[in-house]
Amino acid sequence: MEIITTHINADFDALASAVAAKKLYPGAEIVIPGSAEKAVREFIKKFEKKLGLLSEKKVDFEKVKRLIIVDTRQAGRLGRLGEFTRKRDVELHVYDHHSPHPGDLKGKIDVRRITGATVTILLEKIRKMKIVLSPFEATLMLLGLYQDTGGLIYPSTTAQDKAEARYLKSSGADLKIITGFLTRKLTREQTVLYRSLKKNKEFFFFAGAKVVIVAATAGRYIPDLARLTQRLMDEEKADVVLSLVGMQKHLHLVARSKTKKLNVERIVSFFGGGGHPTAAYARIQGIDLPEVKKTLLKILRQRIKESKPEKRPQPISAPNLSSTSISHKKRRNLSKLMKDKLPGPIMHRLEEIGIMGTEGGVSIYVVGGFVRDLLLGFPNYDLDIVVEGNAIAFASRLAEKWKAGVRKHKKFGTAVVYLPGGSKIDVATARTEYYHYPAAMPQVEGSSLKADLYRRDFTINAMAICLNKDEFGLLIDIFGGEADLKKKLVRCLHDLSFVEDPTRIFRAVRFEQRYAFKIDRHTQHLIRTAVNLDMFDWLANQRVLAELILILSEKEPLSAIKRMAEFNELRFIHPRIKLTKNLVSLFKKVKGVIVWMRDIFPEEEFAAWLIYLLALLDTLAKEEVREVAQKFVISKNNERQVILSKESGPRILSTLRKRRLKNSEIFCQLMGLPLEFLLLLSAKAGSNRVGKRIRFFIANLRRIRPLIRGTDLAKLGLKEGPVYKEVFRAVLWAKLDGRLKTKKEELSFVKKQKRLI
């Protein structure tokens, strides 16, 4: 069975292209997924018998062997039919006129041409094959061509569009029918919305282009916002119109342009939308209208800056992300490297996972950082497993076999297997992600390994190793990750990477500094663009803090902080944080005390990242430090240390500067303070008297305790109560000052104190 389909919310070009494809695939059935545009629905209802469409509900999914896709190449826009794009036994043929976009499908027959309408591409083939069109078919195809080219006046119109329009007229296209569907009267709701848009219009000029931004809200969904936008463009004689309308739970952004200076598809892509350079759309969730308008203006300003001629590396083109099998050019096998580098138990686990995958009929891969560090020669035994199938079911089988615990996350198709001994294995269904708006949490859909790797941050993290028995150890490197490892480059996978997830900017810096790599030039350009557009403002502060903690946990965080300063990222922690000589010096001192602490007490745990954070905030005022603590909602204990660093730090350091202090007096100043805070004070004090006193407290005084116990006091005839606390304190003070050493001396001291009590 063959199916011809198009995108949900189909317009006339989509319907016309489907009918044109039917002329090339006469045995195929046309299925329009979901709901089409209102005018298209009316057309389908009026000419139902002539169109002969098949209902989506009547598709026999088991019998479909070929899917012909027109006017889109995004699986997510095909509704339920998008499932076919992940089936290896379904052949894809794709005809589309949209610009390349991350996640594009690629078919066995794949035709992409930049024309005003998709139907133009199909008509050219129809004419070459000398296929005759009926007047009805010619009418529909000209209707689709006219709608997408604005009656052949949009800048995207090509000479081929005009040639096919002449051909359709000569084939009997009925202009009365076309006029009737393209010039319909506005409904009452549309009229009210149109007036509201006109009332709330704002004018801007970018590089000589007149840009109109209009905004409104409507209680319920009102169709044909694109039509209203085009009408506004004509009436206002604008070069670009951006319409923002809040309807129900979403913001709808429709963009139209008649100038090459402003490509509205690129503008709309920042919000997860798409379309053409002259016409684009995005549906936005979770951001209010004023914020979207503010971001639009920032993007427009940035686009004008970028329009100046500039030589830069070509971005990575969208790969074939369909579920067809992966080709391996070099077919490099890493099984020998794995045996040489990995501990026996880890290797055995991987082999068992592969065998279970083969037995279960699913493809299994270990992916990400494990593969990267294996190739670099760094120890990394965190296993991230991807299953081209049901990951939760597979994880359950692993847990049963290994008598391990398992935690399932059905929403994301992931699970964690907790092994005896404390280690764990992450298991995930191969999946793709899409973003409703910049910096949003990703929406997840099941997909192929290719799509799963493409959703990752950098090429060096987008490699996989097959674990199945027949291909165990086979390296899957679609995006040139191994080559970038050899070149020591950190390179993102696509141009919208940092818009989709700005935390990747932190990760780029972290990987660059950890491995002594270099962020490639184009990736640096994309980072600066995202920073200039304030993309971090969209992020939940918790995510920024998580990435900051990882950076400050690195062995050499100072180099990463310096790089962050170069990219102007420190302002996202607080605008007043600057990389000064004093801050650099303090970071170096912090590193020294951390090394000292680990040498003296290798088993003692403490949060090194927190000491660096305290150092980073050192130049801020007390209220600013409190503001940061509240902004990032750090834990109560950590917040206490942040506040202490400003409220008590200066006083403590001042007291410890006194020339003559007993050990008991030092103890009184420092007892009960968190270790991280003490280490910061030590770093700030340096090697002088104060620093030595703090380190002496950490290494010796804080561990001193009385040898006597409550039972000893009871034997001496002391009645239990508040007096015990006073006695123990007196013993401790004497012991700290070197006056008591043995338990016998402590008992003798208490007997003398007893006479005074």
pLDDT tens-digit readout, 445-457? 445 788 788 888 8
Cβ–Cβ < 8 Å for 69, 92: yes
Q: For 621, which DSSP code? A: -
β partners of residue 96: 112
Mean pLDDT to the nearest integer, 564-576: 89
Token digits for 36? 């089409």
Mean pLDDT to the nearest integer, 87-97: 91
State the helix-helix crossing angle for 581-600 and 557-566, rounded to 10 degrees.
160
B/e letters for 160-174, b = 16+ CB within 10 Å, e = fewer, are bbeebbebbeebebb
Q: Which residues contact 493 (CB under 8 A, 6 or more apart)?
A: 102, 316, 454, 456, 457, 458, 459, 462, 479
Token digits for 409? 């996350």
pTM, full prediction: 0.56
**How would residue 735 be classed by pLDDT, with cut points 50, 70 and 90?**
very high
Mean pLDDT to the nearest integer, 622-641: 82
- Name the phi and psi angles at 242, rounded to 5: -120, 115
Cβ–Cβ < 8 Å for 657, 681: no
B/e letters for 127-154, b = 16+ CB within 10 Å, e = fewer, are eeeeeebeebbbbbbbbbbbbbbbeeeb
Residues of the chain with pLDDT > 70, as a percent, come to 91
Q: 176-197: per-residue pLDDT in tens?
A: 999 888 877 788 888 889 889 9
Residue with the larger pLDDT of the pair 631 and 679: 679
Residue with the larger pLDDT of the pair 318 and 702: 702
Q: Which pLDDT does position 486 carry in this prediction?
A: 96
For 152-247, list the strands marked E by DSSP.
Answer: 201-206, 209-218, 240-247
Q: Which of 96-110, 425-439, 502-516, 585-599 has the lowest mean pLDDT?
A: 425-439
Residues of the chain with pLDDT > 90, as a percent, come to 50
Give the separation between CA 364 and CA 341, rounded to whole angstroms: 21
Cβ–Cβ < 8 Å for 171, 49: no
Q: Which of 23-37, 380-394, 410-424 has the lowest mean pLDDT?
A: 410-424
Quickly tell me which residue has 């970018």 as its tokens: 206
Residue 755 has pLDDT above 60, yes or no: no
Residue 306 has pLDDT above 60, yes or no: no
Q: Which amino acid is at 636?
A: K
Residue 336 has pLDDT above 90, yes or no: yes
Q: Which residues contact 618 (CB under 8 A, 6 or more apart)?
A: 583, 586, 645, 684
CA atoms within 13 A on the CB side of 440: 17
Label the pairing between strands 109-112 and 91-96.
parallel
Label the pairing between strands 279-284 and 274-275.
antiparallel
Give the separation between CA 478 and CA 566, rounded to whole angstroms: 31
Cβ–Cβ < 8 Å for 435, 269: no
Domains of the chain: 2-182 (3.90.1640.10), 188-306 (3.10.310.30), 311-487 (3.30.460.10), 573-703 (1.10.3090.10), 710-756 (no CATH)
Give the separation between CA 656 and CA 694, rounded to whole angstroms: 8
Residue 327 has pLDDT above 70, yes or no: no
Token digits for 593? 């005390």
Among left, alpha and beta (phi > 0; psi -120 to 50; other), residue 532 is alpha
Q: Please, what's the largest Cα pairwise distance for the chain?
A: 121
Mean pLDDT to the nearest integer, 220-232: 85
From the list 742, 743, 755, the residue with the least C-alpha distance to 711 is 743
Q: What is the mean pLDDT of the chain?
A: 86
Residue 385 has pLDDT above 90, yes or no: yes
Give the separation between CA 449 and CA 400, rounded to whole angstroms: 25
Give the separation between CA 321 and CA 447, rounded to whole angstroms: 9
Cβ–Cβ < 8 Å for 430, 386: yes
Residue 637 has pLDDT above 70, yes or no: yes
Residue 72 has pLDDT above 80, yes or no: yes
Residue 705 CA, distance from chain mean position: 51
Number of other residues whose CB lies within 10 A of the CB of residue 47: 15
Residue 320 has pLDDT above 60, yes or no: no
Mean pLDDT to the nearest integer, 421-446: 61
Cβ–Cβ < 8 Å for 720, 714: yes
User: Sign of dihedral through CA atoms 678, 679, 685, 687?
Assistant: positive
